[in-house]
Amino acid sequence: MISIDLSGRTAFVSGSTQGIGLAIARRLAEAGARVAVNGRSAAKVQTAIDALAGAGVPADRLLPAAGDLTAEDGLASALKAAGDVDILVNNLGVFGAQPALEIPDSEWQRFWDTNVLTAVRLIRALLPGMTARGWGRVLNIASDSAVVIPEEMVHYGATKSALLAVSRGFAKDAAGSGVTVNSVIAGPTHTEGVEEFVYQLVDRDLPWEEAQREFMRSHRPQSLLHRLIEPEEIANLVVYLSSPLASATTGGAVRVDGGYVDSILP
């Protein structure tokens, strides 16, 4: 039996008050890690922590780390609350559909600042401590859109492609240190935000199950699952990659995409 024990490790999960980030925070804490839960506001962070504790996660494994990571002071306060971090999960991201030729510079910049630069800043802040201690894990949550660029989200896809390069570059920087750096290519995933996105593209009068099927059939036909992935399915891979069991996996882009990317390579 494979057993993952992250006791004694501290994880920081950006954007972890809902969706994939919340699921990752829960799974890491269930594996024994102390998890810094991050969101823009202290109220949202506390609501997430209360929900995790209500689901059976020991309260002493949950650290509130509120702060807007796109702002220097917000990033500093969040990291101060977290302390020494052994596992960094860069999950924070924004997405949305818009015709490619109508996306203004301001949206391109907002997506870049949120999806890419927050990850770079957190890695710069935390990687030196990991390498000094001789152990660490950095995971950047990318997307199938990094490889299969969607025309209605070209700006999102471009930022996720950039995360693959960021992961590979910092993995080289951490070479031989005991720290691994990887990206996780998540496929179309069922979150509240994605439900809203789905209804931007299909008939809003459809019940959710029908809307999901229509979305997958019309807009994500490459999926071999023919359904959206649940956040816990992404989190399970993240926990494995965060563990000592994944010590030989670094510099990679590991897929949990439901077979969406049409490739025989990871």
- Tell me the C-alpha distance between 215 and 63, whole Å: 37
Q: Which of 140, 21, 13 is nearest to 82 (CA)?
A: 13
- Tell me the C-alpha distance between 53 and 105, whole Å: 41
| Cβ pair 226, 209 in contact under 8 A | no
Q: Per the structure block, which two tokens stand in for 2?
A: 């494979």
| Cβ pair 7, 30 in contact under 8 A | no
Q: Examine the residue annotation and report whether 156 is marked as an active-site residue of this protein.
A: yes
| Cβ pair 237, 254 in contact under 8 A | yes
| Cβ pair 115, 156 in contact under 8 A | yes
Separation in Å, CA 227 to CA 16, 157, 217, 218: 23, 20, 9, 12
Give the strand order in the sheet containing 34-37: 62-64, 34-37, 10-13, 87-90, 136-143, 179-186, 253-256
Q: Per the structure block, which two tokens stand in for 251?
A: 């510099």
Give the active site residues: 156
